[in-house]
Structure 1
Amino acid sequence: MAVPATVAAVPASLYVGDLHSEVVDHHLFEAFAEFKTMDSVRVCRDRVTMKSLCYGYVNFKSQQDAIRAMKLKNNSYLNGKVIRVMWSHPDPSARKSGRGNVFVKNLAGSIDNAGLHDLFQKYGNILSSKVVMSGDGKSKGYGFVQFESEESANNAIEKLNGSTVGDKQIYVGKFVRKGDRILPGYDAKYTNLYIKNLDSDITEALLQEKFSSFGKIISLVISKDDNGLSKGFAFVNYENPDDARKAMEAMNGLKFGSKNLYVARAQKKAEREQILHRQFEEKRKEQILKYQASNLYVKNIDDDVTDKELRDLFSSCGTITSVKVMRDDKGISKGFGFVCFSNPEEANKAVRSFNGCMFHRKPLYIAIAQRKMDRKTQLNLHYAPQQTGLDGSSTPVIPGGFPPYFYHSVASQMFQSGLLYQPLGLRSGWRANDSVPPTRSFQQSQVPNFTRHHRQNRSRMNGNVNSLGKAHSGVYIPQYYQAVEYLAV
């Protein structure tokens, strides 16, 4: 495989994809250990769950070793799965553009990654090839080939599209991202039109007369309810697709009766929902980006505060585009809301001016609003250091579900000074049947200064646990004793 000219100047870093979920860094290191100039490896993980993302990177000091590693390790097995090895592209725009990417479908089940690579390699330099597999390792019949240049991709499409490979006629075309794909049949020739905003007195005969001027109509129907009354919409099916298009262009928006008609290509429900969903998501993303730093989250709002009162409070800081006090189904305030300004400067001014101020007998908490996922990630990062012990190890789980802060504030100090009992399973001289823990001597200076209330509680709890042990036929129940020991501190 030749070194792509576009990556010759970048560091010798390889992308390794399709990794088994159980592959960790040292597995990847061992797989590439034969290449002496290997510098580092990394398996990428989710920042929150720490689960493997099933891809990683291997960095080399020598580009020649990287080329050799790509030749030898691409389509090889690691932990029972075929891995893909290709040049790493640090520029995300290059990866997301889809330039030189080809989509192939209707592949025979016998064609794997290597077979797909062999099929396309004569048309140009291939950066990556992949046949999509199911969970049981069988081909799903389609895949992707990433060429170095757009010219090579176009050449492969021209020569291979419609050709027969392994008794199957394959389809080869340009790869289109899911969000940009045109739905099946969207631009295909159509004859069926959907018409809405019909007056209740519009009849099929009147609709037939109006729409027949554009061409021959095969069928026409007005949708009606169980009582035979019009639902306000209809379908007209033409014989010729060109007639249908002319009717749509001429009649859409035209006043018919007392309303303006809406005329469009008839769509299946699933197709229409998908288009509307995509339009909604695009609009929502635009709104989020537009007001990302201008929207305020306001908490600790008194129950009787209205939207108008909240708007009046913040109006001195700038132009407010929207105000909303969040309420439940019964209309009762949830105690928080949102105030959106026209620009981030006004929002920051409002935070400085009103955060902590008294409003209707309550101090307000004000901050820049965040998406739920962003806020969750930030909290996880903030509290991550608290989940680590003094020696850097993970916080041990305390029996009985006691909170971690109890362990950090008291129990960790006692462990360090040797005041707490050892884990019961490790004690020497312990007897299971009707026994009590062995006594331990402490120097006077080591004994914690318990109050009388703590001593009484500890004696009472020890007595209860001993009686529990006797009640269960003399069988020792470790979780009860462990709970007592931690609580006694």
Structure 2
Amino acid sequence: MLILIHFTDHFHIFVGDLSPEVTDSALFAFFSAYSPNCSDARVMWDQKTGRSRGYGFVSFRNQQDAQSAINDLNGQWLGNRQIRCNWATKGANSGEDQLTSDSKSIADVNNNFTENAKQKSNEDAPENNPLYRTVYVGNLAHEVTQDVLHRFFHALGAGAIEEVRVQHGKGFGFVKYSNHAETALAIQTGNGRILGGKPVKCSWGNKPTPPGTTSAPLPPPAAPGHPAAADLMAYQRAIAMSKMASTQALMQAQHLRQAAMGMGVGASQAMYDGTFQNVGASQQQQQQLMYY
């Protein structure tokens, strides 16, 4: 028989398979972005090593929201892992999902949720700390690049973007904004939107920006097919073609000069001078084409 854990009019769910970098605040941001009725979140830590045990508990103000979170978020990506969600239970057959599997008792966990409820809303929480200005973006498709992620968040119109990073091959990245309010808006508007065929997961980055750090906003990204992007590509192709043509012409001139050495000094010099003039004309035409 499974008994749902339910203290102080709150309902708790178990969250397993957490990435090592997921903190209390990151877990709370993930579930509170899904439901405003999420009231608290705790990751279970090993007191000896200081490392995450790989699971935690999230509380909701009503049972329906907790059940919906279990149904909708089970198997979703948080960090670089797919999480498992179920009711927090106690019982003989609940296995890893039972609270008693940890050295903490049910009373200890309940105290964490109740006695520290006010602490959750103090300045240490990312959602209330103005030093947090970075969006963690998870569940990224493999083909998403920094340019693609920049265009995606620029289109949200949340504010001035200062930095975009993608951890290639790991499915997540970071977007840094100019201030805390813009970051919060980007998390709210970007979470769950489709990018590369997958819904992205937006939450607070787990590190605050050091006080006094200043950086300039990035220029707006050029969208694919935009004239600026097309002009840049054409310019780069013109440069490459010019360099290739010049190299080939000079190699041909050198080859002809060496071949003409057996024809006498006058003939050799005349052939070389004519070839060199042709090379100069070719280079001039390439430069005119490039600047045109």
TM-score relative to the length of structure 1: 0.19
TM (norm. structure 2) is: 0.30
More helix as a share of residues: 2
Higher relative contact order (CA 8 A, sep 6+): 2
